Amino acid sequence: MPSIEARPKPELHPEFCKGCGRCIEACSVHHCIAEGRDIHAQSGLVPVAFHPDGCNGCNLCVEACPEPYALMAGDAAGPEEHPVVSRHRAPAPQTVPDERVAFAEGKTLVVKGAHAAAIGALLAGCRHFFGYPITPSTEGAELMAKLLPRLGGTFLQAVSEVAAVNMMYGCGGGGKPCMTFTSSPGFSLMLEGVSYLIGSEIPGVIVNVMRAGPGLGNIGPAQADIKLTCRGLGHGATHAVALAPSTPQEMLDHAMLAFELSFKYRNPVVILADGYLGQMTGRVRLPGALVKPGLPAWAVSGDAAHRKNVHTSIYLNEADQEAHDEHILAKYAAMTEAEQRADLYRCEDAEVLLVACNTPARMAKGAVRALRDEGVAAGLFRPQTIWPFPAKVLVPLLPRVRRLVVVEASEGQLEDELRLALSHAGAGQAIPIDHVRRQGGNLPSQREILEGVRGPRAPRATARKVVTA
């Protein structure tokens, strides 16, 4: 029998410790084991803390431990020889990069906006869909239901939007590109899950084909979820890049971009369309390459290296939560710096600048042409990201601008984002902001926009309601 000094000390494997405390009691003489404080990232439990300095290797703690691998005698077989321990000690997971595969560039399709977004998702490598049908977004889900089984993918109609977004949590946590189509009431239901996606840094793409509200509202086109998307993505400090397509082509392009950004930042991305755009048929040019997804190092996957990954948004220790919040806020700052996008139409010398996105931007573009024919130096500033609002693109245009006119299908949600962005940028405060608005499933017409622009100017820095439903 080895002397006390020579007896090997036990080894604690905290990933297997459930924190029952029996070993603490067993070591009541030497006090080598104490209650732990931190949640273990793999187990989600709080293992004990082992302080081996005073340990004499008596192994009473090992005998008291009900877990086979939590406390192991120092002379037990090396942990690497234990199948369970060795699995948890697998090499660090490596990222398998995406591949881009040449595709039929230049080919065109004539498709609905919702179908274009579904095609974009498939070309981005999405093979997993979770959703619940809701008009006017159902066509996107319908196409995914037809195509995914043929492509070896999974289409799952969940019992509700709440279930769907939490299925995205599991799939996205596995490092797989996944998505849903929904519309405003369904989007509201998903927001708790979106907060969890953000908190756990899990990618996923949500296409919200907005309709009129509040409540059940109707199935007419609207932009009623801009506020919800930019300022209310569930509890906590939540933000996500929000893309605002205006054409079926952009529905496809933005869907592909959304997956790229979602994995780049490990954060969900929202595509905000409107009911008209979802149903609108248009020509769509296919890209030159499609994406064959790899596997991120952080994914929970079935091999030994990836299996030990854990995704969680729970940080019971306040300091840990604050550090996590700061990490997420730094990501928002990076998104704000790098992802502001806008399309400019005849803005170079514009004195009257229309601001519009989604389908209303199409009417606004027609209005700009008509105003130019009348000799009015009009232009269209079209945010392609509503969050982050593209202030960096807008502000350089402002020295020439005498008037901003926000055209939208909501009660002023886009205008609020514009005003907030200008305020944060410290720019444009002296420029009057007018608006042309419709609601209730109606879109502003070109005639209404022209009437709004031609009408009497609002007092400086005061919003004026020109048209309302």
- Single out the segment in contact with ligand SF4 by CB under 6 A; choices: 13-21, 226-234, 314-322, 342-350: 13-21
Nearer CB in complex with ligand SF4: 18/308: 18
Per rule CB under 6 A, is residue 19 in the interface with ligand SF4?
A: yes
CB of 79 to ligand SF4, least distance (A): 14
Structure tokens at 358: 């989604």
* Residue 321 contacts residue 236 (beta carbons within 8 Å): no
Nearer CB in complex with ligand SF4: 61/398: 61
- Single out the segment in contact with ligand SF4 by CB under 6 A; choices: 24-32, 158-166, 225-233, 392-400: 24-32
DSSP letters spanning 243-270: E---SHHHHHHHHHHHHHHHHHHTSEEE
Contact pick of 42, 43, 49, 60 for ligand SF4 (by CB under 6 A): 60
CA distance readout (Å), 323 to 277, 316, 462: 41, 12, 41
Contact pick of 61, 122, 328, 377 for ligand SF4 (by CB under 6 A): 61
Cβ–Cβ contacts within 10 Å for residue 288, how many? Answer: 11
Per rule CB under 6 A, is residue 115 in the interface with ligand SF4?
A: no
Per rule CB under 6 A, is residue 64 in the interface with ligand SF4?
A: yes
* Cα separation, 159 vs 163, whole angstroms: 6
* Cα separation, 431 vs 419, whole angstroms: 11
Closest to 276 measured CA to CA, from 450, 411, 445, 404: 445
Per rule CB under 6 A, is residue 71 in the interface with ligand SF4?
A: yes
The footprint of ligand SF4 on residues 407-466 (CB under 6 A) is none
Contact pick of 11, 15, 27, 144 for ligand SF4 (by CB under 6 A): 27
Q: Is 21 left (phi over 0), alpha (psi -120 to 50) or beta?
A: left
**Residue 31 CB contacts under 8 Å (≥ 6 apart), including other chains:** 51, 54
CB of 116 to ligand SF4, least distance (A): 54
Contact pick of 11, 15, 69, 70 for ligand SF4 (by CB under 6 A): 70
Q: Which residue has the tokens 């989007």?
A: 187
CB of 49 to ligand SF4, least distance (A): 10
Strands 49-50 and 33-34, sheet pairing: antiparallel
Nearer CB in complex with ligand SF4: 40/231: 40
Per rule CB under 6 A, is residue 163 in the interface with ligand SF4?
A: no
Q: List residues near ligand SF4 by CB under 6 A.
A: 9-10, 17-23, 26-27, 30, 32-33, 47-48, 55-61, 64-65, 67, 70-71
